[in-house]
Structure 1
């Protein structure tokens, strides 16, 4: 048997008063609003009246904390998978609007199609799809939830829908604590849903963690 559905859940808002691009930097936890967002995602999953039997999360603190209410709601252990972590990023620890004015950083922008400032899009797709496939195959019954980050989730969406991988980061449809759902049909994963349960909490939220 395999999983019925795979839900890719993004983490909630991060406490980031200086508005840096935190990427993989340690110590970035959920804000109080982010905790409410994570709870909203757990509530949304519970309201679907589906059986969720596997919970996987990125090793980063914000993802682990976002997985916690799902673990509590469904009585699950959190399995950590490094493959669904945030991509590497040249601009980690910097404020983007300031960094872009520094000529020393301009070489990192030379090839946005790769992108030259971080992990190649094709690499993100490969590791994310491996993790999704493993979660699907290792879930004997019910659904699997993977708590990850905006760009990795968007790369899965883009790859499976045939959308070009190079893109404007401002155009991603992957809100904080959003849920993107997939099923396996006719030998391939297919996106079957997207929800934004934390939308009522999003006004004024800080979302500048990665490019």
Structure 2
């Protein structure tokens, strides 16, 4: 059995590092983001047999660029959706700076959550379940999944054996590729956060 999963973060968008977009509708790639994903496509080898995407617009746009390169359709994978940030969705980092819940979230991902949002543990569980379904399925080949920083980070923390509270140790930059090697005995990390343009 030879299986590979490439976890690709979507490309840059205009609100990146300014606002907590989460599942906010209508957030799409900008020109930089489109260039980043086109560069990412050059690095995906061997060619994938399937491309999956989170339901969000920016990931679907990124996946469409990759799919066009390889002549594939895009499958929507709800399990790889962005974390639900609840009441923080759409807020700026400045607006949250003095919020004790925000400070706790950024130090204790293992036992905190955004107000009316999703825990990091729940994100990790749904993502890992999806990846393990691929491992246990029939057939070989390469799967590309276009997702977001937090779901990809959750997967990498799990397969690295790193606790959720140590989330800053895993970097996931726009249009980066993190690769999982899938074997009958389990899934291991073959590469992290590579390929983004300078």
TM-score (norm 2): 0.87
For structure 2, which runs of at least 5 residues remain unmatched after alignment?
Answer: none
Larger deviation, residues 112-121 vs 36-45 = 112-121
CA-to-partner distance for each residue in 1:163-186, whole Å, 9 max, x for gaps?
1111354x4311111111111235
Equivalent residue in structure 2 for 1:106, among 94, 100, 108:
100
Structure-to-structure mapping, 1:130-209, within 5 angstroms: 130-138=129-137, 140-167=139-166, 169=168, 171-200=169-198
RMSD (CA atoms): 2.2
Larger deviation, residues 126-135 vs 22-31 = 126-135
In structure 2, what is the Cα distance between the partners aligned to 1:119 and 1:9? 22
In structure 2, what is the Cα distance between the partners aligned to 1:134 and 1:59? 19
TM-score (norm 1): 0.82
Q: Contact between 1:53 and 1:141, CA under 8 Å: does it hold in 2?
A: no
Q: Contact between 2:53 and 2:59, CA under 8 Å: does it hold in 1?
A: yes
In structure 2, what is the Cα distance between the partners aligned to 1:18 and 1:160? 26
Q: Contact between 2:51 and 2:67, CA under 8 Å: does it hold in 1?
A: yes
In structure 2, what is the Cα distance between the partners aligned to 1:187 and 1:22? 37
In structure 1, what is the Cα distance between the partners aligned to 2:185 and 2:165? 26
For structure 1, which runs of at least 5 residues remain unmatched after alignment?
Answer: 201-211
How far off is 1:109 after superposition?
Answer: 4.6
